[in-house]
Amino acid sequence: MATEETLVLVKPDGVARGLTGAILARIEAKGYALVDIRLVEPDRDLLAAHYAEHEGKPFYEPLLEFMLSGPSVAIRLAGNRVIEGFRSLAGTTDPTTAAPGTIRGDFGRDWGLKVQQNLVHGSDSPESAARELDIWFD
């Protein structure tokens, strides 16, 4: 199996809460390689490209507002089956029901309707990973 790459984001809630190190520790403990890492303050155009698949959904505007609220840490991450593997580390989308032992399950809070505050993003397919890495790491 060839090594693959994925885009991981520590979202503004993770950065603001000082959880970047704890999240990176889990990623490194799993054996994935940090190829590149940077703090990014995205503008609306970058986020619209990143979240194009969600345009028009009810949570789209709150999601962009949240992602504009502070910097994210963008990580180019490599490893065998890292796309699937990181999403497994992250846990399911809603932090309230994400399994204990996952990043979202252990650190995510119940923010009521603010499901967008779920600490991390991970690409969901090789196509998404290539597209998203281009967007965040030009």
For Mg ion, the binding residues (CB under 5 A) are 124
Q: Which of residues 14-73 bind ligand DAT (CB under 6 A)?
A: 54, 59, 63
Tell me if 111 contacts ligand DAT by CB under 6 A. Answer: no
Three-class SS of residue 24?
Answer: helix
Determine which one of 26, 50, 76, 121 is catalytic: 121
- Can you spell out the DSSP letters for 47-105? HHHHTGGGTTSTTHHHHHHHHTSS-EEEEEEEETTHHHHHHHHH--S-TTTSPTTSHHH
Applying CB under 6 A, among 121, 132, 133, 136 the residue interacting with ligand DAT is: 121
Count the site residues for ligand DAT by CB under 6 A: 9
For residue 125, the 8-state DSSP code is S
Which parts are annotated binding residues for ATP?
A: 11, 59, 87, 93, 104, 118
